[in-house]
Amino acid sequence: MQAFPSTSSPISAEVARQAVQWWLQLNSGKAQARQHDGLQRWRAASPEHEAAWQRIESMGSQMAGIPMPLARAALAAPGSAGRRRAVQALAVLLVSGAGSAAVVRSQAWRGWTADQVAAVGEQRTLPLPDGGSVVLNTGSALNLRYGAAERVLELVRGEILVQTAPDSLHRPFIVQTAMGAVQALGTRFTVRQRESAVEVGVLQGAVQLRPAHAPHAPQRIAAGEQGTFTAQQAVHSGALDTAASAWAEGMLVASRMRLEDFLVELGRYRRGRLGCDPAVAGLHVSGAYPLADTDRVLAALTSSLPVEIHSFSRYWVMVRPAGAGKA
């Protein structure tokens, strides 16, 4: 008698995506005999395929508990951006073997299933229901929650530039982050959510920073200033660094920035790994660089610094000392 694979066996991300695609086909309400036959052939082709399908079946109640927005996106037209994100999120659930509640709370899941998402290298400008606007920087995600009492943008990850508009209902405008809230006071401002803190720069008007654990000790930041806050406290960081919002104009501006730090910033706008040899990490970079063509930016570095670019693949690029390739 054939032993069935354990549902705890490791499952690759690719096989997980394939299993999710089969699950979606069979739950679309349009499955025919050929889809069922195709699934059986796919399961028989590999023990890993069978293990993936058994895991889906063992998680039936959890799959049924998937939030409706994600379920609708998953069943959307093949090839749509919403479906691709939903399939990826469902595959995470399958690979992890974790309960749906735990996965839904994860940052990755919330990013994939957010209302609005900007892909790596993309910047999106969105009109808001009240006449304002928000620009999402590369790799950013947010949810819109406009209600009778308040207007909320939930920044799930990344960075945004907000332009508020007067509201006839006088509802407060709030950007909610993992560390706390930013309340706008008629303004134009940027918010960047990092792992350890949230950075805010005010171009017009003013904002109040309200840490999650100290909401009654807000920090006011006026036009031309910037601030930082964690869940515990908010601090005024001094004069606004205008380079911090240059991304909204499609530029990366550096002033004696360490090469290592510069590449971290540039790497946000391209897929894959971008790094440098420790021997050149401390070199200084200055200038304004177009974000639309990161390969061109890398090429420009070789003209101003004693470095050369080594591309091991399209998604793995290293900056090394000039002449390193001849050693």
The 3-state secondary structure of the chain, one letter per residue: CCCCCCCCCCCCHHHHHHHHHHHHHHCCCCCCHHHHHHHHHHHHCCHHHHHHHHHHHHCHHHHHCCCHHHHHHHCCCCCCHHHHHHHHHHHHHHHHCCCHHHHHHCHHHHHHCCCEECCCCCCEEEECCCCCEEEECCCCEEEEEECCCCEEEEEEEEEEEEECCCCCCCCCEEEECCCEEEEECCCEEEEEECCCCEEEEEEECEEEEEECCCCCCCEEEECCEEEEECCCCEEEEEECCHHHHHHHHCEEEEEEEEHHHHHHHHHCCCCCEEEECCCCCCCEEEEEEECCCHHHHHHHHHHHCCEEEEEEECCEEEEEECCHHHC
Task: State whether 118 and 17 are in the same domain.
Answer: no
The larger pLDDT score, comparing residue 194 to residue 20, is at 194
CATH at residue 302: 3.55.50.30
Task: Provide the residue range defining the domain that includes 78.
Answer: 13-97
Domain boundary among the residues 97, 130, 157 is at: 97
Domain membership flag for residue 106: no
Task: State whether 29 and 131 are in the same domain.
Answer: no
What pLDDT does residue 59 have?
A: 61
**Which pLDDT band holds residue 108 (cuts at 50, 70, 90)?**
low
For residue 126, give both structure tokens.
Answer: 């969105």
What pLDDT does residue 14 have?
A: 82
Task: State whether 87 and 120 are in the same domain.
Answer: no
What pLDDT does residue 186 have?
A: 83
Task: State whether 223 and 262 are in the same domain.
Answer: no
Domain membership flag for residue 25: yes
Task: State whether 216 and 289 are in the same domain.
Answer: no
What pLDDT does residue 151 have?
A: 97
Does residue 26 surpass a pLDDT of 60?
Answer: yes
End-to-end CA distance of the chain: 59
Task: State whether 128 and 230 are in the same domain.
Answer: yes
Task: State whether 199 and 278 are in the same domain.
Answer: no
Domain membership flag for residue 105: no
Domain boundary among the residues 189, 206, 239 is at: 239
Domain membership flag for residue 292: yes
Max mean pLDDT among 92-96, 102-106, 267-271 falls in 267-271
What is the C-alpha separation between 202 and 230, in angstroms, rounded?
A: 18
Dump pLDDT digits (tens) for 136-159. Answer: 999 999 999 999 999 999 999 999
The total number of structural domains in the chain stands at 3
Overall average pLDDT of the 255-279 stretch: 95
CATH at residue 230: 2.60.120.1440
Task: State whether 170 and 215 are in the same domain.
Answer: yes
Dump pLDDT digits (tens) for 41-73. Answer: 999 999 989 888 887 776 654 555 454 445 545
What pLDDT does residue 7 have?
A: 43
Task: State whether 165 and 215 are in the same domain.
Answer: yes
Task: State whether 255 and 218 are in the same domain.
Answer: no
Domain membership flag for residue 103: no
Task: State whether 160 and 184 are in the same domain.
Answer: yes
What pLDDT does residue 135 have?
A: 98
Does residue 107 surpass a pLDDT of 80?
Answer: no
Which residues have C-beta within 8 Å of that of residue 138, sequence separation ≥ 6?
118, 119, 120, 121, 122, 123, 158, 159, 247, 268, 269, 291
Dump pLDDT digits (tens) for 183-195. Answer: 999 899 999 999 8
Domain membership flag for residue 281: yes
**The model's pTM:** 0.71
Domain boundary among the residues 186, 208, 239 is at: 239
Domain membership flag for residue 104: no
Domain membership flag for residue 326: no
Overall average pLDDT of the 280-299 stretch: 96
Task: State whether 226 and 254 are in the same domain.
Answer: no
